[in-house]
Amino acid sequence: MDRSLALLGIAKKAGLLAIGSGDSAAAARRGKAVLLITASDASGGAVRRAEANALSCGARYIAVPYTRYELGNITGRGSPATIAFLDKGLADGFTDRLAETGSTDGSAETGFLDKLAKAGSAGTGANRKEGDAL
């Protein structure tokens, strides 16, 4: 098992994930989400909602190279398109491990590492200057 998926399982056991589109959106509304991820086979609507939810609460967002089935196997919750991390340390560890593995399995989308780097450098909005594009 890849290290990022293992960390996802640890976060689930610790109760530090909001699993599924509804729970992830609720965590974002409460300001608890620090990272939202979507499965590689998530619908366009699910991706747009996750991006909007991340933007609304100042969380990071990335599309991961794992399918809904893979995320469901780790979390034990069906086949979620969206998952929110509720802990910054676990979220950082997850993105670090994703960067280590890159897209070696071939299932990652084009530009995945570039998006991951941008997600890692995106702040909560505090680093943005007034007038900067989002």
pLDDT given at position 100: 86
Total of domains in the chain: 1
Predicted TM-score of the model (pTM) = 0.77
Taking Cα atoms as reference points, which of 80, 58, 59 lies closest to residue 69? 80
Read off the pLDDT band of 125 (50, 70, 90): very low
Question: Would 128 be classed as within a structural domain?
Answer: no
Residue with tokens 């943005």: 128
The rounded Cα 100 to chain-centroid distance in angstroms is: 16
Q: Any residues with CB less than 8 A from the CB of 21 and at least 6 apart, and which?
A: 46, 49, 50, 80, 81, 82
Report the CATH number that the domain containing residue 92 is assigned in CATH: 3.30.1330.30
Question: Would 26 be classed as within a structural domain?
Answer: yes
The domain of 14 spans 3-120
Q: What is the mean pLDDT of residues 36-54?
A: 96
Round the average pLDDT of the chain to a whole number and report it: 82
SS (H, E, C) 15-31: CCEEECHHHHHHHHHCC
What are 89-116's pLDDT values in tens digits? 999 999 999 988 774 333 333 344 455 5
CB 29 within 8 A of CB 81: no
Question: Would 84 be classed as within a structural domain?
Answer: yes
